[in-house]
Structure 1
Amino acid sequence: MMAWTGLALLVLVGVGIVSTGLPAAVVLIAVAICGAILGVVAGAIDVATLGALPSRLINLLENDLLQALPLYVTMGLLLDRLPVADALYRASNAVLPRKPSAPLVSGMMLGALLGPMNGSVGASVLGLSRVVSPRLAAEGIPAPNRHAIVAVASTLGVLVPPSLVLILLSDAMLSAHTMAVTATGRSDRVVNTQDIFHAALVPGGIFLALCLALSWIGGRTATKLPDRERLAAGEGLLAVVALVSLIVLLGGVAFGYFYAVEAAAMGAFALLTAGLATGRLGGAVLNTLLNDAIALTGALFSLLVAATTFTMILRLLGTADLVGKMVSSIPGGEIVAVAVVLSVIAISAFVLDAFEIIFVIVPIVIPPLLIRIADARWVSVLVLLTLQSSFLLPPFGYALMMVRGVLKEPVAFRSFVRALAPFLAAQWLLLLLVLLFPQLTYLGQSSDDRLRIPSVPMSDEEYNKRLNDMIRLPEPE
């Protein structure tokens, strides 16, 4: 009974976030406290077990990968303050053929370059709305098409390595896969961040190519040719330096030449130095920027702590065990089980953003899925594609709501969806391809490296026993 109470608490979190307007961390902590009180009163939770929470949080925050959070946040804010995005957009327009489609393609390329550095879909929407949308309007691009380009481009950072979303999901998948391997007794190599970066390269490249092609085709109906961009020598140099730096940083992390934390540190330092040298980061501006960086970083860490507390309460209530049994009882093969779990993630994305899904939903639904399906790379990319698709899914997709709120232009929702439809079709086609052909996530690697399910299936009793062992919390010291 208390296990079902945990599911009710999960629904309550979604309702609370949507209806109250409070930060997700506040809602998670409040609901976790209510769940803990109910569990203690009902006898489902031992008060002494709650003493394991502090050590659990300390171990979580000692993760070296979390150093990337403040660095990525700082980079995103610096990109918003400095004229890097504007220079890259104008340089792209200057290089591309003088065709009506050129501004749309430039906007999409800018989203692919800056999305991984911005750290979140919301930050990308704000940046692209400031740089791309006014220029598209000046070129006579209809408002629905402008909205669609900004919305789609802002989600490219979810899939293109090494975005902050991808880094955090990789860490969550590492934990989930470790739990699954421990529970099943398999001798598989646990998936790591670099594995998932490599797995996302081909799907990310395919989707980017589809988006660029659709942008080019969609702009052919426009009658006005874009004005020829004329860059000053300084602007051209800035664009070249920024482009080379971004390619080196993104490519270096994606192909394993250096770690995400190192790339974030180099990028933030380079942007900060450039801003100070050019005088664009004066005392007041720099002070505001650093305050914003601290506030956003604090919000992310508070969300991580709150989500960890909440998921611990769900495990104590037996909800994780219940979810595991549900996943194990899904009829059909691997594809059916994955499709059901991905549907849960897609529905969650209507009320939760990417970070909340990674911190709250993934630790609950993915470990039991990886007990049944051993290919963690494949599952990781499918989760990424589902997240990206759900952000653009009408009518409540996160990116759609952000774009309509930021641009504040009177656009009929039906026209907006019509302009968005080709990109949605491309996303779903790619998701279907990866679902049916897992080898797309194994660029340049032998199929022998694939993590496989043991040839001898587990009985229901053995499955439940190992799942219980997997979710058991350590005894408090």
Structure 2
Amino acid sequence: MELAGLAMLALAALLLLVTGLPAYAVLIAASLAAVAVGLPMGAVDLGLMTALPGRVVGLLENDLLQALPLYVLMGALLNRLPLADTLFRAGVALLGRGPAGPLVAAIGLGALLAPMNGSVAASVTTLSRVVQPNLLKRGVPAGRGLAVVCVASTLGVVVPPSLVLILLGDAMMRAHTEAVNATGHMVRIVNTQDMFRGALVPAALFLALCLALAWWLGRRPVYRASTGPALEPERPLGLAGWATAGATVAFVGGLLAAVAAGRLYAVEAAATGAAALPCFGLVSGKLDRATLDAVLRDTMATTGALFALFVGATTFTLVFRAFGTDRLLADLVAGLPGGPAGALVGVLGMIGLTAFVLDAFEIVFVVIPVLMPPLLMRVPDAAWVSVLTLLALQVSFLIPPFGYAVMMVRGTLGGSVVMRDLIRSLSPFLAIQALVLGTTLLAPALVHLADPEEAAAPSALSEQDALDRMRSMVPAPDDD
């Protein structure tokens, strides 16, 4: 019955594609269907299923999850208040009225807002509403603008300390613990802060290359604003607008940097932002009753969907393991040819395929707990594996025509998307992604450049080394 778990995965993927139901509903439905079949056949232990409530409660007691609704609230406030539009206009004005300014400003805005939106779908919605009309108004061709929206919406996957990184850090810690217990190696368990430090250099490299590419593409004559519709007169920001943009960048950027550097916990930074942004809205007069209602509805809807997905994924993985399919996948990963490198590439390919139908959160909750433990038994550097997973996800989200971000843009903007133009415009950004992914794959040290000296890349300890270290921690008895 080990194959029943794979049938569950296939059923869940089919239901997601055909029905359009929320992922948590699909995961729970697939789990219930599998249990209904497995119980009469004796393949599923009823006693194991009675442990589900305690398992859910135990997972929800994680302090890290307190940051989720606070981050979502920050993202909703930035989206509903006119801050995103102000930031974009300030970026364009700061870069001058040249043709490259709007593209560079759009990438920068995505880097600032996407980590708090977390979800690719939420980022696509925000950037499509704020950025795409402004790009068209400034004469940027539609295909180029849509490609920039797609790329900017995925920056929340790799730029720390995003919601995706926070949740992936927790999932990788559990997977690494499981792998260490199975192998018996004495290694330091990876944590969320390791994810932040590991993603810093690859994310900074990718962001810098995207900004440079956007600037270069904007300077090319075919993409200049003069080739598009006539530019409308730009309303000046004024002193208040510049002050708002500068304060927002300093505040949000400072919070994100403090969390990524380990100066603040994610919960502390999220609570600070969730308290400061409403105060700004009230003082500036931009947060009225209607806007506050919309912000709270968005926050509750997104947070509820995340926690429902969390419960659905916990149910799904429990049933999946009840059939013993996790052992089947462990044997499959262990049998992949090419040694640890072959296993790593194979698992990254599997995760990339799931990204065609699942969002980042769904992959973290459902796929990572299943595939990562057997992989980490062969590749012990969990931080390196985590960063490669993020980069592989981002690449998959942007591969047309089935990439998740591409499909979300098409769904949001409908018939205005010309796939041929979008593919041509996305190609150079995909080349940059492939370059960063390949560089990180070939140079694991890139992930550990930001590590403190005492937290170098993990390595296994022999039993004798572990005993020697334990003896060194015990004070020697006095000769008296």
Q: TM-score range by the shorter chain?
A: over 0.9
Correspondence for 2:225: 224
**Residue aligning to 2:91:** 92
Distance of aligned partners of 1:256 and 1:18 in 2 relative to their CA distance in 1, 3 Å threshold: same
- Does the Cα contact within 8 Å between 1:100 and 1:219 map onto a contact in 2? yes
Distance 2:16 2:207 in 1: 32
Asked if structure 2 preserves the Cα contact closer than 8 Å seen for 1:94 and 1:228, the reply is no
The residue aligned with 2:174 is 175
After alignment, is 38-47 or 205-214 more displaced?
38-47
Answer yes or no: is the 8 Å Cα contact 1:90–1:229 preserved in 2. Answer: no
Q: How does 1:294-313 map to 2 (within 5 A)?
A: 294-313=300-319
Instruction: Give yes or no for the alignment of 1:450 onto 2:457.
Output: yes
Counterpart Cα distance in 2 of 1:232 and 1:128: 24
Cross-structure match for 1:210: 209
1:244-303 C-alpha deviation (Å, 9 max, x unpaired): 001210100000000111111111111111112223222233123212211221111011
Cα deviation 1:34-71 (Å, max 9, x = unaligned)? 11122222212221221211111111000001111111
Written as runs of structure 1 = structure 2, the 5 A alignment for 1:94-113 is 94-113=93-112
Q: Distance in 2 between matches of 1:443 and 1:453?
A: 20
The answer to whether the Cα contact below 8 Å between 2:198 and 2:450 also exists between their aligned partners in 1 is: no
Structure 2 counterpart of 1:463: none
Residue pair 1:143, 1:409 contacting (<8 A) in 2 also: no
Equivalent AA in structure 2 for residue 451 of structure 1: P
Aligned residue for 2:57, secondary structure, equals helix
Instruction: Tell me by how many angstroms 1:162 deviates.
Output: 0.6
Secondary structure in structure 1 of the residue aligned to 2:154:
helix
Task: Give 3-state SS (helix, strand or coil) of 2:225's partner.
Answer: coil
CA offset at residue 347 of structure 1? 0.6
User: What are the residue-to-residue correspondences of 1:71-470 with 2, within 5 Å?
Assistant: 71-221=70-220, 222-224=223-225, 230-445=236-451, 446=453, 449-452=456-459
Q: Is the 8 A contact 1:341 1:365 kept in 2?
A: yes
Q: Secondary structure at the match of 1:408?
A: helix
On the 8 A contact 2:187/2:460 being kept in 1, the answer is no
One-letter identity of the residue aligned with 1:252: A
Amino acid paired to 2:248: A
Q: Tell me the distance in 2 between the aligned counterparts of 1:326 and 1:453.
A: 23
Distance in 2 between the 1:266 and 1:415 partners?
42
Q: What amino acid does structure 2 have at the position aligned with 1:286? A: L
Distance 1:281 1:453, change over 3 A: same
Aligned to 2:13: 14
Change (3 A) 1:59 1:245: same
Instruction: Report sequence identity in percent.
Output: 53
Offset, 1:415: 1.2
Query: 1:461 aligns to what?
Result: none
Distance verdict in 2 for CA 1:187–1:390, change over 3 Å: same
RMSD across aligned positions (CA): 1.7
Distance in 1, matches of 2:345 and 2:92, equals: 40
Q: Is the 8 A contact 1:9 1:31 kept in 2?
A: yes
What is the alpha-carbon distance in structure 1 between the residues aligned to residue 2 and residue 461 of structure 2?
29
Contact 1:202–1:443 at 8 Å: present in 2 too? yes
Contact 2:140 2:224 in 1 (8 A): no
Q: What corresponds to 2:467 in structure 1?
A: none
Q: Is residue 60 from structure 1 mapped to residue 59 from structure 2 by the alignment?
A: yes
2:469 is matched with: none
Q: Distance in 1 between matches of 2:310 and 2:224?
A: 49
Q: Does the 8 Å contact 1:115/1:155 carry over to 2?
A: yes
Structure 1 spans left out of the alignment, 5+ residues: 457-477
Counterpart of 2:32, as a letter, is I
Q: State the alpha-carbon separation in 2 of the partners of residues 282 and 447 from structure 1.
A: 50
1:449-472 per-residue CA deviation (whole Å, 9 max, x = no partner) reads 21235789xxxxxxxxxxxxxxxx
Which letter does structure 2 place at the counterpart of 1:452?
A: S
Q: For residues 229 and 366 of structure 1, what CA distance do their matches in structure 2 show? A: 51
Within-5 A mapping of 1:15-30? 15-30=14-29
| In structure 1, distance between residues paired with 2:284 and 2:340 | 55
CA deviation vs aligned residue, 1:396-452 (integer Å, no higher than 9, x gap): 111111112223353321111000000001101111111111111002435982123
Give the TM-score normalised by the residue count of structure 1: 0.92
CA distance in structure 2 between the partners assigned to 1:35 and 1:368 by the alignment: 23
Tell me how far apart the structure 2 counterparts of residues 387 and 160 of structure 1 sit (CA, whole Å). 13
Q: Distance in 1 between matches of 2:114 and 2:150?
A: 12
Count, aligned residues: 455
- Tell me, in whole angstroms, the C-alpha distance in 1 between the residues paired with 2:300 and 2:450: 40
Deviation of the 1:389 alpha carbon: 0.9
Is residue 121–residue 154 contact of structure 1 (8 Å, CA) maintained in 2?
yes
Deviations 1:160-179 (A, max 9, x none): 00110111111100110011
| Structure 2 residue aligned with 1:39 | 38
Q: TM-score, normalised by structure 2?
A: 0.92
Query: Which string of whole-angstrom CA distances, capped at 9 and with x for unpartnered residues, describes residues 79-129 of structure 1?
Result: 111111111111111211432111100111111111112222112111111
* Aligned residues of 1:311 and 1:364 also touching (Cα < 8 A): yes
Give yes or no for contact 1:195–1:377 (8 Å, CA) kept in 2. Answer: yes
The answer on whether the counterparts of 1:372 and 1:453 sit within 8 Å (CA) in structure 2 is: no
Q: Could you tell me how far apart the structure 2 residues matched to 1:304 and 1:330 are? A: 30
**Aligned in 2, Cα 1:292/1:224: closer, same or farther, shift over 3 Å?**
closer
Residues 165 and 354 in structure 1, CA contact (< 8 A), matched pair in contact too: yes
Which moves more between the two structures, 399-408 or 206-215?
Answer: 399-408
Q: Whole-Å Cα distance in 2 between the matches of residues 444 and 413 of structure 1? A: 39
CA distance in 1, matches of 2:296, 2:75: 12
CA distance, structure 2, for counterparts of residue 313 and residue 278 of structure 1: 51
